[in-house]
Amino acid sequence: MTDSDEFFVVDAEKFDLAGTERLFELFAVPRDDREAVWLIAFQHAAWNASVVVPAPPVMTGPDGFPYLRLVLPPLGESFQSNCLSNVCAFCAERGLGAAFFAKAGDPPMALQYAIPTGVIESLRQFGSWSGDPLDDETPPEDDEAPNAGTARRLLVGAPSADYLPPHTARLLRRHLVERWEMAEPRVALLVDPQLSPSRNLVIGRKLSEFADEATAEQQMRTLLWYLPPGRSLVLMPEDWPEERLTALSSLCEGGRA
């Protein structure tokens, strides 16, 4: 197990039994005592620790999303080893989170730690549990920034494959079609230096199309499950034409749902 804060896929570091022993220790800590130090230790151990993918491998979590189950191996028995770094691409491309359990027979509510697919994408793409470093950067000062009372400089365009990979675009599209009942979901990338983060993914539905603001906020929070931490979503402004956004179907080539 490495103490580095970078979590990249390195074949020689996979299936780490020392990491497994550390997970046994961490899962023995009462839940009420698991604070920031516990989380950091878990993140370092869980990335490469040898675990088991039991049958059935996928469960529906308490939040309604699918998770690949990762279980600590039975003591004193042989087992087929796997690890989070080995399955991260599989999970990210299929929209699976990862749920760690102490024992194979534990029910969903007994999970030790759940990782959304967006965090797994962050580990896979950026080697970080915290998301894209660009989302933490403060935009440079604009020498030609508008004065008070004048229009802000906004950039609107289609999100790149680096910002929204094809498989993530496909997962978002499936969610919006099936759960939001949108016939042809559209998105855009809005860059506004006065926002933090400055890059925001616009979802092609207006606030006025929801029952109320609370419903809209809840539905938007749900979409964040697919995205790396630090990403931000906004609804389409009321005065924007739909044609200003890009159809998600055009961003899905090569992705898998």
Name the pTM for this structure: 0.90
DSSP 8-state code for residue 97: E
For 38-70, the pLDDT digits (tens) are 999 999 999 999 999 999 999 999 899 999 999
| 251 closest CA partner among 171, 156, 166, 158 | 166
CATH 3.30.300 residue window(s) in the chain: 153-251
| 117 closest CA partner among 162, 54, 159, 172 | 172
For residue 213, give every residue at least 6 positions away whose Cβ sits within 8 Å of its Cβ, in sequence order, or none: 207
Whether the Cβ atoms of residue 56 and residue 66 lie closer than 8 Å to each other: no
Whether the Cβ atoms of residue 199 and residue 138 lie closer than 8 Å to each other: no
Query: CA–CA separation, 206 vs 183, rounded Å?
Result: 15
Run of H or E including 171: helix 166-178
For 152-185, the pLDDT digits (tens) are 678 999 999 999 999 999 999 999 999 999 999 9
Tokens (6 digits) for 8: 């990249």
pLDDT at residue 138 above 70? no
Tokens (6 digits) for 128: 């970080």
Mean pLDDT over the full length of the chain: 92
| 84 closest CA partner among 115, 107, 60 | 115
pLDDT at residue 2 above 90? no
For 185-243, the pLDDT digits (tens) are 999 999 998 888 999 999 999 999 999 999 999 999 999 999 999 999 999 999 999 99
* DSSP class per residue in 53-97: --SS-EEE-TTS-EEEEEEPPPTTS----B-HHHHHHHHHHHT-E
Whether the Cβ atoms of residue 71 and residue 52 lie closer than 8 Å to each other: yes
Query: CA–CA separation, 221 vs 118, rounded Å?
Result: 12
- Helices then strands, counting H and E runs in the chain, come out as 6, 9
CB atoms within 10 A of CB 206: 15
pLDDT on residue 76: 87
User: Which CATH topology does 153-251 take?
Assistant: GMP Synthetase; Chain A, domain 3 (3.30.300)
Helix, strand, coil share (%) of the chain residues, nearest 5: 35, 15, 50
